[in-house]
């Protein structure tokens, strides 16, 4: 009888165990969130290529200085006036080159940095003008004419800049920026001129001059830059540049009035020069590669 009682108790214990186990709390497996996508950071070094359009808007002025006057000073005065002019030539051309720079993302919104670039240019252009000025002759006041034909050209062989950039991110991958700083370039200009008198005894005279060298100035502009692929950005940029001016001698004219139909006697002479202003506009596109990591993912943790 005792053996039957023990067996019944053991059997009851085994049958009740699953029910008790079902009542025990079960710990859920830990959930680990997937890593978030890396966020682009503008901080870092970059380099790339650019190409675009450049024009020249500055003036080209020819000037004359009176040196000697004959007994009728009108001869020298009218010669100088005929050799003085302003030529409005606005040539354009292509440019292309490389850039290198550094950005620092100061906050999620603000980015600052610097950029240097250098590019070759096909900017070339020339302009011509003619002046007709009356002058005194032996036949009477203002009965003769001085006629001048002037041609001036200018060009830009290369242009480089060193600029600061500061901008705002309208989205994490789109930057609007302003930029400005130093500009320098290899410039050239030349002028040719002839002066003719419609009276007797004065041959047509020719003179010319040229300048070639490096000029430095400033540049300023704005642009937008987009992230187009991991570590790659594209930009559209406008710049105004001012490389200052250059003044160079272009010769002179001297006429002995005695044996001519010009009135009076004595030497009429002038010296001529040209002043060229090197200013203009640039519109270009660029492609940059950002060195280093694309960005760092923010730390996100989840506990359940």
- Among 20-29, 86-95, 139-148, the minimum mean pLDDT is found in 20-29
Query: Is there a domain that residue 18 lies in?
Result: no
The answer, yes or no, to whether residue 88 has pLDDT greater than 50, is: yes
Query: Is there a domain that residue 3 lies in?
Result: no
pTM of the model: 0.81
- pLDDT of the residue at 5: 41
Query: Is there a domain that residue 155 lies in?
Result: yes
**Local structure of 248: helix, strand or coil:** strand
The answer, yes or no, to whether residue 304 has pLDDT greater than 50, is: no
- pLDDT of the residue at 302: 39
Domain ranges, residue 81? 42-290
Task: Indicate the average pLDDT of the chain.
Answer: 87
How many structural domains comprise the chain? 1
Query: Is there a domain that residue 135 lies in?
Result: yes
- pLDDT of the residue at 25: 54
- pLDDT of the residue at 292: 84
- pLDDT of the residue at 35: 56
User: Within 10 Å of residue 123's Cβ, how many Cβ atoms?
Assistant: 24
Query: Is there a domain that residue 299 lies in?
Result: no
Query: Is there a domain that residue 26 lies in?
Result: no
Write out pLDDT tens, residues 1-20. 444 443 444 444 444 444 43
The CA angle 32-35-41, to the nearest 5 degrees, is 155
Which residues are paired to 195 by β-bridges?
A: 148, 205
Whether the CB-CB separation of 198 and 147 falls below 8 Å is answered with: yes
Total residues found in the chain within this entry: 304
The answer, yes or no, to whether residue 295 has pLDDT greater than 70, is: no
d(CA 295, CA 190): 52
Which residues are paired to 52 by β-bridges?
A: 95, 284
Whether the CB-CB separation of 96 and 128 falls below 8 Å is answered with: no
Which strand (E) or helix (H) includes residue 11?
A: helix 2-23
Write out pLDDT tens, residues 136-169. 999 999 999 999 999 999 999 999 999 999 999 9
Query: Is there a domain that residue 4 lies in?
Result: no
């Amino acid at each position: 009888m005792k053996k039957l009682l023990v067996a019944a108790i053991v059997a009851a214990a085994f049958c009740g165990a699953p029910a008790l186990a079902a009542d025990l709390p079960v710990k859920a497996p830990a959930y680990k969130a997937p890593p978030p996508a890396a966020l682009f950071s503008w901080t870092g070094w970059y380099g790339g290529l650019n190409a675009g359009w450049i024009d020249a808007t500055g003036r080209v002025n020819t000037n004359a200085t009176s040196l000697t006057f004959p007994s009728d000073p009108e001869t020298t005065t009218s010669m100088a006036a005929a050799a003085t002019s302003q030529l409005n030539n606005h040539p354009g051309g292509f440019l292309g080159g490389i850039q290198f720079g550094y950005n620092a993302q100061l906050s999620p919104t603000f980015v600052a940095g610097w950029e240097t670039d250098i590019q070759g240019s096909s900017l070339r252009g020339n302009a011509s003008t003619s002046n007709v000025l009356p002058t005194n002759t032996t036949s009477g006041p203002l009965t003769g004419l001085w006629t001048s034909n002037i041609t001036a050209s200018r060009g830009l062989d290369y242009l480089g800049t060193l600029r600061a950039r500061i901008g705002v991110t309208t989205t994490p991958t789109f930057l609007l920026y302003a930029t400005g700083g130093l500009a320098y370039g290899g410039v050239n200009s030349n002028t040719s001129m002839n002066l003719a008198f419609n009276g007797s005894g004065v041959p047509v005279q020719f003179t010319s001059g040229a300048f070639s060298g490096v000029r430095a100035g400033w540049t300023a502009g704005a642009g937008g830059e987009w992230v187009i692929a991991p570590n790659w950005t594209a930009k559209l940029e406008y710049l105004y540049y001012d490389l200052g001016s250059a003044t160079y001698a272009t010769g002179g004219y001297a006429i002995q009035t005695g044996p001519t139909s010009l009135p009076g006697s004595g030497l009429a002479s002038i010296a001529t020069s040209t002043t060229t202003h090197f200013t203009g506009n640039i519109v270009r596109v660029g492609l940059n590669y950002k060195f280093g990591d694309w960005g760092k993912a923010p730390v996100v943790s989840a506990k359940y």
